[in-house]
Amino acid sequence: MISRRNFLKGAGLAGGTLALVGCGGGGTDAATDGDTGSDSGELISVGIINNDPNESGYRTANDKDMKETFTEENGFAAEFAYSMKNEEQIASAQQFIQNGVKYLLVSAADTAGWDTPLKDAQDAGTQTILFDRVVDADPSLYVAAVVSDMDAEGQTAVDWLTDQALPEYNIIHIQGVMGSAAQVGRTGALDEAVAANGWNLVVQQTADWNAETAQQITQSVIDSGQSFNVIYAENDDMAKGAVAALDAAGITHGKDGDVIIMGFDHNTWALEEVMAGRWNYDGQCNPYQASTILDIINTLESGGTVEEKTVIMEEGYADCDTITQEYIDENGI
Amino acid sequence: MTIEKNQDDNVLKRLLHSQMIIPIAALLALVVFNLIADPLFFAISMGQDSSGNPVLSGQLVSILNNGSELAILAIGMTLVTAATGGQDISVGATIAVAGSAMLAVLCGGNMRPEVVTTPFILAFLVGVLVAMLCGAFNGVMVAVFKVQPMVATLILYTAGRSIAAWINNNALPIIPTESGFGVFGGFIPGIPIPTPVFIAIACIVVIFLVLKFTSLGLYVQSVGINERAARLNGLNPTFIKWLTFVILGVCVAVAALIKVSRISTINYQTIAADIEMDAILAVALGGNALSGGKFNMGSSILGAYVIQFLTTTLYKFNVASAALPAYKAVVVIALVVLSAPIVRNKLSALWKKIRSPKQAEVEVAK
């Protein structure tokens, strides 16, 4: 689905070891612009459909960001609906459309089944903006989609790993739930690099985003006496579990250690592990889409048109050599 | 000579007819498979953890270590199954609730405490209380309101993880390593055997003492076999059913302590995910009827370790991620079919047929 990128990737993608300290900074400015841009008289009605904020730290941050952006002070009358079930989300969407909201913001639980509600919305004059996840619907049915590019997240991580120029690569690859967008993107990049560079995958196994399972998988490799020097875990929890197994076996890791630790998602505690030098890398999955959506709505409100249908979130990474406390404060979720 | 041989025969016969044969056979199959594939599977070595303390490591140690929670849950699940003829599918979710409560008490409102001042025992007791309350709720639904156990526990299965998140305001408490909370899921400094192994042994000893010196086992089986007959004999089936859920609650709290201690934090969605299915499977693997009645506690506990043995074996042989559930399913189907009463009867009939010519020979020789 994601075909175009309208954001220039930072130095990290180009292969440098610079951390993207400025990542996401532009978004904050946009939010401030939004205050002045919106009509002070009448509130703009928006219906926001999201997944359950309890799902993950990512989702909690995403929901909080939405709530903080679409406030009355910013000129919005926002209504929220939460569900991790697609059909419940669609029911909420139809309710919002009946209520005549001006904008419908959707993070769909599933890609299928959104044709009809989005068509209904269009007929009723409601404009739809997808965020976080795309759906299988004709692009003409929505104004824009603001999403993360999981393939790029994986590529950024693999490029960083290539730059470490290790004498040999023996990798423990711990995957997320098989088939999820994050797993597919983050696995895809590593698989390609393994094939292209002749790296050795000591183990490639799914831990279903579960820290304890990751711990068991890593433990199993240690017990069988295989040697490894990289742990590529597809989220922070699993990296933490793997590290727990290393600690129990007295294997050093992180900045000056024997094993390179890589995680994803930018949980604040994970960034602190990177800062402390216990981990080497943490890739960002940016949940702060609200300011970009706000920009789009402001453009539409002022009579402009949105040119880019798919907006990819700018995402960076944290490296134990360059991470700063400021970066953690700004990007931790 | 002959007398000794007869005794051997009896032991063998008793073993063959006992429920224990299924988990033992499964265990032997796994052991033999691993011996052939890679004898190093059974190697155990002494090493040091990152703080310099001695630790034993090896696949067998990992199996005993990681199987602890499941073995503890199997204890409670066996009692619930025997008394009610149904299963509790909310144990994973209530582990999240109890674990969340423990961490809430330890952190005292601060999600990232520098030091932990609350005694661990207090946090644990609060966790036990919370898990017992969850168990009591399930028990009331099943025993008093006569709701199907699987339906009754579906409530907490669905809501439990949200409740767990709500206890800590959806934040993730992290206990600092320096506090020493990690010992319950790791190692006691100086002792090379993982702590969960000791905790599991303690739970197993306690339940065996309870079953030996109280009438709990007898009462549970009576209620499970025939509730009305049990009532006519002066038992209170409602109370006994309720009690089994509360006991399972205690097991859940102990398992939750180990789980949250292993990584000193909690993820409400993934902690102990799907563990209820493994716990039920342990009971089934132990040859216990899932429709209630008679049970064999040792058999269930052994079943739990067999499941962990299988999981570890699959990790060891690096089965492709996507195929992992399929492998597990095949093994599970084989085990469950073999332990089904119909198949067992057929097999023992077949066994007799094979044996009978030999027996005849023996008679002739005499």
- Inter-chain touch B58–A209, beta carbons under 8 Å: no
SS3 A201: strand
A251 interfacial to chain B (CB closer than 8 Å): yes
- What are B17-72's pLDDT values in tens digits? 677 888 898 899 999 999 999 998 999 999 998 888 999 999 999 999 999 999 99
Q: Which residues on chain B are in Cβ contact (under 8 Å) with A52?
A: 162
Chain B residue whose CA is closest to A257 = B50
- What are B316-330's pLDDT values in tens digits? 988 887 787 788 788
Q: Which residues on chain A are in Cβ contact (under 8 Å) with B112?
A: 269
Closest-CA residue to B305 (of B20, B81, B27): B27
Beta strands in chain A (DSSP E): 44-50, 76-82, 103-106, 127-132, 144-147, 170-175, 200-206, 230-233, 260-264, 281-283, 310-312, 317-319
CA distance A122 to chain B (A): 35
- Inter-chain touch A54–B172, beta carbons under 8 Å: no
Buried/exposed A304-326: b ≥16 CB within 10 Å, e otherwise:
eeeeeebbbbbbbbbbbebbeee
- Which residues, listed in sequence order, are joined to residue A49 by a DSSP beta bridge? A81, A106
Residue-level pLDDT at B366 = 52
Q: What is the mean pLDDT of chain A?
A: 86
* CA B139 – CA B86 distance, rounded (Å): 12
A95, A96, A98, A100: CA torsion to nearest 10: 170
Chain A residue whose CA is closest to B164 = A54
- What are A216-257's pLDDT values in tens digits? 999 999 999 999 999 999 999 999 999 999 999 999 999 999
* CA B98 – CA B257 distance, rounded (Å): 8
* CA A132 – CA A56 distance, rounded (Å): 14
B148 interfacial to chain A (CB closer than 8 Å): no
- Inter-chain touch B321–A241, beta carbons under 8 Å: no
Q: How many CB atoms lie within 10 A of CB B324?
A: 18
Positive or negative, the Cα torsion across A244, A247, A251, A253? positive
pTM (predicted TM-score): 0.84
- Inter-chain touch B186–A222, beta carbons under 8 Å: no
B357 interfacial to chain A (CB closer than 8 Å): no
CA distance A133 to chain B (A): 20
The complex's ipTM works out to 0.87
Task: Give the CA diameter of chain B.
Answer: 81
Q: Which stretches in chain A have pLDDT values below 70?
A: 1-41
Q: Which residues on chain A are in Cβ contact (under 8 Å) with B41?
A: 224
Q: Which of B50, B269, B319 sits opposite A55 (nearest CB)?
A: B269
For chain B positions 179-218, those within 8 Å of chain A (CB to CB) are: 186-187
B59 interfacial to chain A (CB closer than 8 Å): yes
Look up residue A135 and give its two tokens. Answer: 């759906």
Look up residue A195 and give its two tokens. Answer: 């094939």
Chain B residue whose CA is closest to A201 = B318
Q: Which of A225, A248, A252 sits opposite B55 (nearest CB)?
A: A248
CA distance B67 to chain A (A): 11
* CA A265 – CA A56 distance, rounded (Å): 10
* CA A52 – CA A134 distance, rounded (Å): 17
Q: Write the burial class of residue B67 (CB in 10 Å: 0-12 exposed, 13-18 middle, 19+ buried).
A: buried
- Inter-chain touch B50–A220, beta carbons under 8 Å: no
Rg (CA), chain A: 21
Q: Which of B170, B186, B318 sits opposite A205 (nearest CB)?
A: B318
Residue-by-residue pLDDT tens, chain B, 366 positions: 445 555 666 776 776 667 788 889 889 999 999 999 999 899 999 999 888 899 999 999 999 999 999 999 999 999 999 999 999 999 999 999 999 999 999 998 888 888 888 999 999 999 999 999 999 999 999 999 999 999 999 999 999 998 999 999 888 889 998 888 999 999 999 999 999 999 999 999 999 999 999 999 999 999 999 999 999 999 999 999 999 999 999 999 999 999 999 998 898 888 998 899 999 999 988 888 888 999 999 999 999 999 999 999 999 988 887 787 788 788 778 877 876 778 878 887 888 888 776 555 555 555
Residue-level pLDDT at B198 = 97
B66 interfacial to chain A (CB closer than 8 Å): yes
